Amino acid sequence: MGASHGWVLTSKYGPYLSDDLNPGVSESDFSGIVLPDFETLPHCQTELVTNVAMSSSSPDDEDCILAVKFVGPQLSLCRPAEKNKKWVNIRIEDPAFFNSRVMYTKRDKKFAMPAYGGTHIGYWDLGENLEKPKLCRKGLYTPQLLQSEWEELDLCCTVEELVESRSTQEMFMIKRFRKRNNNKGGRMEEHQIWVFKQGLNRCNPLQWCYTNDIGDLCIFLSKSEPFCLKASSHQKCQNSIYFIDKSERGIFTLGGKCKTSNFSNFTAPYFIPPQSYLNANRSSNPSNSP
């Protein structure tokens, strides 16, 4: 159903959280957590999942919260370490979030999702923003393009994702453009990736502005929760985005706006953070309790 920090959520025999993708766990130390059955809210479904996210790199942490975003209106939260685990189910009223991907921002200590088109961001937690999310409207300063380039992008499917740089306390919004290649059997391919960052406009620091320079950072996008690393510390290409899905894996260089990728059948399209990242994010200590 999804993965976060190396932990995988499955539901074949009921919701189950296992650490079989965690790079710091040996086979002899394999562990898992049985979760309560999902509760489906009226006019919602709990079979198709957009993605999952965790507030800490270990669900054994007392304060860790697991978020499951289902396709449609339902968002469900649970504390895996609690003895009497239960789901706190939220029905999202705004249809712009029905297909959004959830992430956890350590800076704001909340779960966040971008609305379709990136017009606004919603924040949820187990406290004051449980039933009524905090909404932040934002304008996007897009790059200047020729009319022909806009027409090319109009043929693409788009998706927005949020990712936080824990080392620099920066938040980025990623806008991905995917296009069908009819010359290759109609497969979907990554066509363009835009990055937006807050604070570039001095007159309006809350605005999100397009940038092709994220410095010594690299971003990882997959079916797992996205994450950001300092490139020079992990022998990765700086100012780049690494991406993987079920059929394509590659690197998009922001400065040169170029892509290098290969195509195959990737049965586990997940990027897992290195152990140093997981150790540094063991507990985010969310201040709100259910």
Q: What does the pLDDT read at residue 180? A: 92
How many Å apart are CA 21 and CA 10, to the nearest integer?
A: 12
Residue 77, both tokens: 């939260």
Sheet with 7-10: strands ordered across? 2-4, 7-10, 16-18, 32-34
Q: What does the pLDDT read at residue 66? A: 95
% residues pLDDT > 90 (the chain)? 61
Would you say 3 and 21 are in contact if contact means Cβ atoms under 8 Å apart? Answer: yes
User: Residue 202: pLDDT above 80?
Assistant: no
User: Residue 211: pLDDT above 90?
Assistant: yes
User: Residue 289: pLDDT above 80?
Assistant: no
Residue 204 — very low, low, confident or very high, per pLDDT cuts 50/70/90? low
b/e map 90-102, b = 16+ CB within 10 Å: bebeeebbbebbb
Would you say 247 and 263 are in contact if contact means Cβ atoms under 8 Å apart? Answer: yes
pTM: 0.87
Lowest-confidence segment of 14-23, 42-51, 96-105, 217-226 by average pLDDT: 14-23
Q: How many residues does the chain have?
A: 290
Sheet with 187-198: strands ordered across? 140-141, 208-211, 187-198, 170-181, 157-165
Residue 274, both tokens: 């290195």
Q: What does the pLDDT read at residue 116? A: 92
User: Residue 152: pLDDT above 80?
Assistant: yes
Phi, psi angle pair for 142, to nearest 5° = -85, 160
How many Å apart are CA 16 and CA 34, to the nearest integer?
A: 5
DSSP string, the chain: -EEETTEEEE-BTB-EEE-TT-TT--GGG--EEE-PPP-PPTT--SSSEEEEEESSS-TTSTT--EEEEESSSEEEEE-TT-SS---EEEE---GGGTTPPPEEETTTTEEEEEPGGGSEEEEE-SSTTSSS-EEEE--EEPPP--HHHHHHHTTSEEEEEEEEETTTTEEEEEEEEEEEEGGGTTEEEEEEEEEEEET--TT-TTSEEEES---SEEEEESSB--EEEEGGGTT--TTEEEEE-SSEEEEEETTTTEEEEEE---SS------HHHHHHTS----S---
Q: What does the pLDDT read at residue 261? A: 93
Lowest-confidence segment of 20-24, 59-63, 72-76 by average pLDDT: 20-24
Q: What does the pLDDT read at residue 28? A: 55
User: Residue 94: pLDDT above 60?
Assistant: yes
How many Å apart are CA 236 and CA 227, to the nearest integer?
A: 14
% residues pLDDT > 70 (the chain)? 89
